[in-house]
Amino acid sequence: MLEGKTGIVFGIANKRSIAWAIARTLAQHGARLAVTHQNERLEEKVRELAGQLAEPLILPCDASEDDQIDAVFKAVEEAFGGLDFLIHSIAFAAREDLEGDFTDTSRAGYHLAQDISAYSLIALARRAAPLMAGRDGSVVTLSYLGGERVVPHYNVMGVAKAALEANVRYLAHSLGPRGIRVNAISAGPIKTLAASGISGLSKMLKSVAAVAPLRRNTQQAEVADTALFLCSHLSRGITGEVIYVDAGYHIMGMFQPPEEA
Ligand code: NAD
C-alpha cells in the first residue's frame, strides 16, 4: 500500500511504543522511513529496533528544540527528496501533574505539557509541508479520550490532548489546499512507557476491558493498522478527523457493573 512512499515517525522509545508498531506496519507495506529518538538515552534502543527496517534514516529530535527539528527535516529532504507522511506520537507531562488534584497544576507544568504534546504537532507539520508538496501528504497524531472527557489522573495531559485535537482541525484547514491531510487516532489505554506515568493505569485497563463493546483493551497493532489506512490512498477523503481505536469504549454513556451488563 505504501510502495515507493517515504515517511517519518516521531515517538519511538521502545518495542511497546505505539510509534514502533506504526513504523513496523508502514515499513511492511513498502514505506521507507526516517525515525527519531528523543535523546542519547533512547538512541540505542531506537537503533536496535530500526535495524529491522529497510535503509532507515535515524535522527535525534527533542521536540522542544527548534534547531533539532530543522536539522531533522533538512536530513530528510537530503535523503528522501520529499515526504509522503508524518507520524507524531509524542507526549509528555511532569509526573506530579498526572496525579493529585487538577487545581494544583502549575504554570510550568501546564506549559510543558502543551509544548511537547500539542504545539510540537504544529512545529513538525510546518517543516513537513514543503516536503509534501504535490505528494498528497498525510500527518497523523495520537490522542486520547481524556482530551474530551474527564479521566481521573489524566489532568494536564487531557487539556493538552484537547489542544492537540484542535490543532488537527486548524492544521487540516491550513494544509488542505496543499493536498495535505491531518488526522488523529484516539487510542484506548495501552501499557507503554508514557502510559505508566499515569497513576491508576491498571484500573483504567481493567475498567475499559469490562465495559468496552468489544470487552477488551486496545493493541498497538490495531492502532498501527489505522495509521496505515490514514497514510494510504484509501483515506484520501478524510481530514481534520479524530478516529477512535479503543474497542468502542468512547460510545458508552453508562457503565453498568459487568454482572448486570
Ligand atoms: P511511549 O512512551 O512509547 O511514547 C512516547 C514518546 O514521546 C517517547 O518516544 C518519548 O521519547 C517521546 N517524547 C516525550 N517527550 C519528547 C520530547 N521532548 N521530544 C521528542 N520526543 C518526546 O508511549 P506511547 O503510549 O506509545 O505514546 C505515544 C503517543 O500515543 C502519545 O501521544 C500518547 O499520549 C498517545 N496515546 C497513548 C495511549 C496509551 O494508553 N499508551 C493512548 C492514547 C494515546
Question: Grid coordinates standing for 261?
Answer: 451488563
Active-site residue flag, 244:
no
Query: Mean pLDDT, to the nearest integer, of 188-196?
Result: 96
Hey, what's the cell of 206?
Answer: 481493567
Share of the chain above pLDDT 90, in %: 95
**Going by C-beta distance under 8 Å and a sequence separation of 6 or more, which residues neighbour residue 174?**
none
- The better pLDDT of the pair 259, 78 is held by 78
144 is annotated as an active-site residue: yes
Active-site choice (110, 154, 244, 249)? 154
Q: Whose CA is closest to 192, among 219, 230, 161, 212?
A: 219
| pLDDT of residue 259 exceeding 90 | no
141 in contact with ligand 1, CB cutoff 6 A: no
Distance CA 192, CA 232 (A): 26
How much of the chain exceeds pLDDT 70, in percent?
98
pLDDT of 119 over the 70 cut = yes
Predicted pLDDT of residue 96: 93
User: C-alpha angle with apex 20: 15 to 21, nearest 5 degrees?
Assistant: 100
Distance CA 151, CA 101 (A): 12
- Asked if 132 and 180 touch (Cβ cutoff 8 Å), the reply is yes
pLDDT digits (tens, 9 = 90+) for 41-50: 999 999 999 9
Kindly give the number of the ligand 1 atom that is closest to the alpha carbon of 61.
20
pLDDT of residue 260: 58
Is 208 close to ligand 1, i.e. is its CB under 6 Å away? no
CA 112: distance to chain centroid? Answer: 17
91: Cβ below 6 Å to ligand 1?
yes
Ligand 1 and 46: CB distance under 6 A: no
Ligand 1: which of 18, 112, 202, 249 to mutate, most ligand atoms within 8 Å of CB?
Answer: 18
Residue 256 pLDDT: 72
Cβ-based neighbour number of residue 66 at 10 Å: 11
Average pLDDT over residues 15-21: 98
What is the model's pLDDT at position 257? 65
* Per-residue pLDDT at 92: 98
Cell representation of residue 177: 489546499
For the chain, the 3-state helix, strand and coil shares in percent, each to the nearest 5, are 50, 15, 35
Instruction: Give domain limits for the chain.
Output: 6-245
pLDDT of 235: 98
Mean pLDDT value of segment 163-188: 98
Tell me the CATH number for domain 6-245: 3.40.50.720
> Pick the residue with more confidence: 187 or 200?
187
Residue 50 Rama label (left phi>0; alpha psi -120 to 50; beta):
alpha
For the cut 90, the answer to whether the pLDDT of residue 261 exceeds it is no
Given the CA of residue 117, which atom of ligand 1 is nearest to it? 32
User: How many whole angstroms separate alpha carbon 140 and alpha carbon 170?
Assistant: 14
The reported pTM is 0.98
Which residues face 186 on adjacent strands?
143, 244
Q: Examine the pLDDT at 255 and tell me if it is beyond 90.
A: no
Taking only the tens place, the pLDDT of each residue in 244-254 is 999 999 999 98
Higher pLDDT, 67 or 197: 67
